[in-house]
Structure 1
Amino acid sequence: MTTALITGSTSGIGAAFARRLAADGHNLVLVARDTARLGEQATELHDRHGIEAEVLTADLATDEGIEAVAARVSDRKHAVDLLVNNAGFGNKGLYLDVPMADELRMLKVHCEAVLRLTSAAAESMRGRGRGGVVNVASTAAFLPRGTYGASKAWVVQFTQGVARDLAGSGVRLMVLCPGFVRTEFHERAGMGTDGIPGWMWLDADKVVTAALADLARGKSLSIPDPRYKALMGVAKVTPRGLLGGVSSKAGRRYGPK
């Protein structure tokens, strides 16, 4: 049986990855900050699917947390075959309204942790000649929307660049860019969602199904819905100045309340 490690596993897309991978018979390493919630999740998945579910409490906004997870994905005796870098969050407020400490914490989780964990996992996987890494970003990566969008744009460029560098090694890398997904993300950030049109919402389980299918096809970028594929296609040909204005208005309408 193969083993998958998922960061931010207790809610949203991370929890959907855990459910799907457990149902497919993969053992899991579940990573999050809440030990009690991790234990409940591990027990449920073990009892329902008969897989082994290890828990690792770690805060990826700290060096200690990143180092603990990096050590686990580097463990050659208990190999991790798939890494899902899903941990992330949003900050409430426009630029200069958000404390600098919160902005730096976001970059730590979205960029530094992804860099260090991907590197640790890919090195171990390359030695075995097989493995995969899924880095969860967002369609916000393609829009000029402050630190969050910039951090996710970094994840996209980083993942696709590494995927090219490791082509032929047996290690597959893919960045997942969903749109609005029904998770705890907006609630945790204190963001209102009443103004978001119903057609823009995606189901986390369907997002994961599409992502794993794209990974199996060898794609380095997954935008898991035809509606968002079309929207991102339009964004690519829209002048950046106009796009920035539209993005800013959308952020005020659909973002923090």
Structure 2
Amino acid sequence: MSAGETGAPIRVIIADDSTTVCKFVERALKLTGRDFDISFAHDGQQAVQLLSKQVFDIAFLDINMPQLNGIEVMAAIHVMGAKTFAVSMSDRLSEASQEKLKTFGAYDYLNKPFNNGQVRQLIETFEAIRQSYKVLVVDDSATVRRIVMKVLQKSIFDLEIDEAVDGLDAIEAVKKNPYRLVFTDFNMPNMNGIELAEKLAAYTAGSDVVLMSTEMSDLHDKAAQRVGAKAFLRKPFFSADVDTILHHLFGLKHSAFSKQVRMFAMSA
């Protein structure tokens, strides 16, 4: 569980050689009304030293710092294997720098100057990501289920994953558990993904259905939307595709690093 869920303060490190920026981020955080334990670093080396001694939930990292820059600090977080929700800050960021930050696991970046509302959005996203969501994977192929589950496990969201071997098995599962998300194969024997999505609506008012298929067509889209499915994932897909869909379904602001995924119009 994350700090916020356990009642402990959310641990934040703000690393920027500008005291003005550090104080602004601190003030923006406090305006959200959450309880924070905030540490400051004024160069990259100091940031890495703090990160190596203490676990931080969130890191705000300036790109242009003395000693070590923000990308090098992000690389150190990656090497440490920390699950820190890291946000870079800069007045400009090249495409090459963006790719490096994505590779090292940065969540997003803020273009300076930014405002209190943008900081609040990031905190709300952090809280949503650290919640646990029950997920059901439905596919008649055990191999495909294993692959999909591995992809979901790499998501930045905390997903508690179960599996079902076909539509009938899925219906029995949702009768027992309130799944937030159901990822189902489109083509299955006895009951395909469209039929399953239609039947699930009778049991799970709070569940969103995401269809998976190697094929996509307008016919697939129309059928999926008719039964209330929220998105289509074309196999093979990756954790970044899943993360983009979950941002959309949970009403979260997309990261600057988000991928584009085939979504349907959100129903009320």
TM range (shorter): 0.3 to 0.5
Instruction: Tell me which protein shows more helix as a share of its residues.
Output: 1
Q: Which has the higher strand share?
A: 2
Q: Which has the higher contact order (CA 8 A, sep 6+)?
A: 1
Larger radius of gyration: 2
* TM-score, with structure 1 as normaliser: 0.38
TM-score, normalised on structure 2? Answer: 0.37
